[in-house]
Structures are given as C-alpha cells and as structure tokens.
Amino acid sequence: MKLALFGGTFDPVHLGHLAIARAAAAKFDLNLIYFVPADVPPHKGNRSLTEFQHRFAMLALATADEERFVPSLLEANSGQPNYSIQTVRRLKRTLKKSDKLYFLIGIDAFMEISTWKQPVQLLAECDFIVASRPGYSLADLGKALPEGVRPTEAALQVLRKQQATGTIALPSTTIHLLTEVNENVSSTQIRAAARKSVQQLSRYVPATVASYIKKEHLYISTSAQREKGDTRNGKVLSFRKAHDQESKEQG
C-alpha cells in the first residue's frame, strides 16, 4: 500500500490542501493520505491556534467524501511540540514492510526544513512529495536542504535556471515535485476573510467547513464575539479544561 502523511496546522483546512492531496494521490497512486493536524506546531510562532478539536472537526468534514483521505489523531493531545521526525517514526511502526510512505508538504514549508528537528534523519525516513509553486527553481529547493544533504555550490549553479519540476534523487532520499496544483490560498487569508465576512468563506473552504466556521463563530475577533454575547468557544475551552482535570485525577 502507498500512503502519505500530510501534516499542518489546518487552521482551517482549505481547498488548496485538498487540491494538493488529490493531485498527489493521482500522480503517485496513493491509497491513503493521513491529514495530521499538529496539537502544538513548533514552527508557527506565537499565534494562538484554534482549539485542536475544532481544527480536527473541520478536517473530518472536509475529507468526509474522499475515501482515501483520513483525518488523523497522531499528534493529538501531545501537549508539547509535535516534531515530524517523531510522527513519521510513530506512523512507520504501524505499517507493513511492503508499505511505502511519502511525506507530503508544500514548498513554502519545505523551504524551512533545515530548521526542523533532525532534518537529515527525517529526509532519510521516507520519500518526499513537495507541492511546488510557480516562481521556485530547483536551486531554491537544493539550497533549502540541510547541510550534509545540500548539493554543492557548483551543482546549485547548474540548477539555478531550472524550474522546480521532476525528481531530485539524493543518496538518502528522493524528492518528487508536484507541479500540477496552483491554488493561491492560505489559512492566514481565510482567517482574515472570516473576520470581514463569513459569506466569502465558501470560495476557500468546502461548504461544510464554511458552515462549521459560521456556526461556531470561529476566527471572529474576541471583542466581536463578546458583542454577540457568544460563549460557545469559551464553553469548548472550559469543557477541555474540565476533561484534562478529570484525566489528571484519574492518573
């Protein structure tokens, strides 16, 4: 079986994520794609994230009609930074020898890979599928690789004029470029759009996710929320705290 692990914050999941997953599944004959929302992403700075259960619920709605797309709890309830190297190794322990795992990632995230925990080891764990975007060259990808894996300056010179397409075969890993998708959308854009008008959301997210965002009043500012007298998110938070408290007490 061929599988891919697609990690992210998914705050919220959007049509770009789904388009990448569909294109990867078609091109690499994937049987399953695990969408793995991070409980505590190490790379997203100080922005406070939407509660994990909301992000997971939106993923479940967005993937409901796709047999091969599975929302995963691999990084749930960790309470500490979710490092991809650990997640990949955890997932691999559950796979059969004959299974082939890919790590699916967007080029903007891949450009930061040298700053991740144990990047050389991570690259050696499985092949990568990098969703490319226009404007990137193969040299950009090469330069982003961690020391020890990065091509020499002379080799980068040669790559400089080449579009980011095809496959880069390195001694420890193979990086496949996925160039079929060009969806100019990000979760940041959607959060900003939701603050202005929730009506616009269905341009960026599946209709079920747009309805969920509306129903749960996600991504509106706290003051706007207060004006509406809405306490629903507050209640989810208190519910989680109560649950955590209970779990602690049960040991």
Applying CB under 6 A, which residues contact ligand ATP?
A: 8-11, 16-17, 20, 105-106, 108-109, 131, 183, 185-188
Which CB atom, from 91 or from 131, has the smaller least distance to ligand ATP? 131
Kindly tell me which of 192 and 242 has the beta carbon lying closer to ligand ATP: 192
CA distances from 160 to 137, 142, 156, 157, 231 (A): 6, 9, 6, 5, 53
Q: In angstroms, give the least distance from the CB of 14 to ligand ATP.
A: 6
Shortest distance (Å) from residue 109 CB to ligand ATP? 4
Q: Where are the beta strands (DSSP E) in the chain?
A: 2-8, 32-37, 69-71, 100-106, 127-131, 167-169, 174-178
Shortest Cβ 107–ligand ATP spacing (Å): 7
Closest approach, Cβ 44 to ligand ATP, in A, equals: 7
Return the H-helix or E-strand segment holding 63: helix 52-63
Helix (H) or strand (E) holding 12: none
Nearer to ligand ATP, 44 or 243 (CB): 44
Tokens coding 145:
């690789």
Asked if 82 contacts 42 with a C-beta cutoff of 8 angstroms, the reply is yes
Report the run of H or E that residue 161 belongs to, with start and end: none
Q: Give the shortest CB-10-to-ligand ATP separation in angstroms.
A: 5
Residue nearest to ligand ATP (CB): 106
Q: Which residue number, 131 or 145, has a Cβ lying nearer to ligand ATP?
A: 131
Looking at the Cβ atoms of 63 and 187, the one nearer to ligand ATP is 187
Contact present, 104 and 6 (Cβ < 8 Å): yes
